[in-house]
Structure 1
Amino acid sequence: MDRRRSLLVALVALAALAGCLSGGPQTPAAPGDAVPAGSDTVNATVTRVVDGDTVEIRYDDGTFDTVRLLGIDTPETRGGTNPAEFEGVPDTAAGRACLERAAGNATRALEALVGGEPVVVAVDPQADRRDRYDRLLAHLVVDGVDANERLVERGHARVYDSAFSRSDRFYEHERAARDAGRGVWACVDPATPTGGVGLRVVADAPGDDRENPNGEYVVVSNSGGDPLAIGNWTVTDEAGHRYTFPPGATVPANGSVRLYSGSGTDTATEFYRGNGPIWNNDGDTATLRAANGTVVAAASY
Structure 2
Amino acid sequence: MSHGTMSFVAGLLVALSSGPAFPQASAIPDECDLYTYRATVTRVIDGDTVVADIDLGFHVWKHGERLRLYGIDTPEIRGETRQEGLRAAEALRELVEGKDVLLCTVKDCADGFGRYLARIFVIDDKPFSVNAWLILNGYAVPYVPKGRCKAETPVGELEGFND
- Give TM-score, length-normalised by structure 2: 0.68
Cα deviation, 1:200-230, whole Å, max 9, x if unaligned, reads xxxxxxxxxxxxxxxxxxxxxxxxxxxxxxx
The aligned amino acid for 1:169 is G
Amino acid in the other structure paired with 1:62:
W
Q: Which runs of 5+ in 1 are unaligned?
A: 1-26, 80-95, 173-238, 240-301
Partner of 1:85: none
Confirm or deny: 8 A CA contact 2:27 2:158 kept in the other structure.
no
Would you say 1:62 and 2:30 are equivalent positions?
A: no
Distance 1:124 1:141 in 2: 14
1:21 is aligned to none
What is the CA distance between 1:131 and its match in structure 2?
A: 1.2
Q: Identity of aligned pairs, percent?
A: 35
CA separation of 1:37 and 1:124: change in aligned 2, threshold 3 A: farther
| Contact kept in structure 2, 1:70 and 1:148, CA below 8 Å | yes
Cα distance per residue 1:169-208 (max 9 Å; x no partner)? 3799xxxxxxxxxxxxxxxxxxxxxxxxxxxxxxxxxxxx
Would the aligned equivalents of 2:38 and 2:101 in 1 still touch at CA under 8 Å?
yes
- How far 1:76 moved relative to its partner? 0.9
Task: Give the structure with the higher percent helix.
Answer: 2
Is the CA contact 2:142–2:155 (under 8 Å) kept in the aligned structure 1?
no
Find the structure with the greater CA-based Rg: 1
1:149 partnered with 2:138 = no
User: Is the contact between residue 72 and residue 148 of structure 1 (CA under 8 Å) also seen in structure 2?
Assistant: yes
1:36 paired to 2:16: no
Length, aligned pairs only: 128
| 2:28–2:157 CA contact under 8 A, matched in 1 | no
- AA partner of residue 36 (structure 1): P
Check whether the contact 1:124–1:165 (CA below 8 A) recurs between aligned residues. no
Partner of 2:119: 139
Gap runs ≥5 in structure 2: 14-25
Residue 106 (structure 2) pairs with residue 113 (structure 1)? no
Q: 1:44 to 1:171 in 2, by over 3 A?
A: closer
Relative to the length of structure 1, the TM-score reads 0.39
Whichever structure has more strand as a proportion of its residues is 2
Superposition CA RMSD, Å: 2.6
Higher relative contact order (CA 8 A, sep 6+): 2
Cα distance in 2 for residues equivalent to 1:43 and 1:109: 21
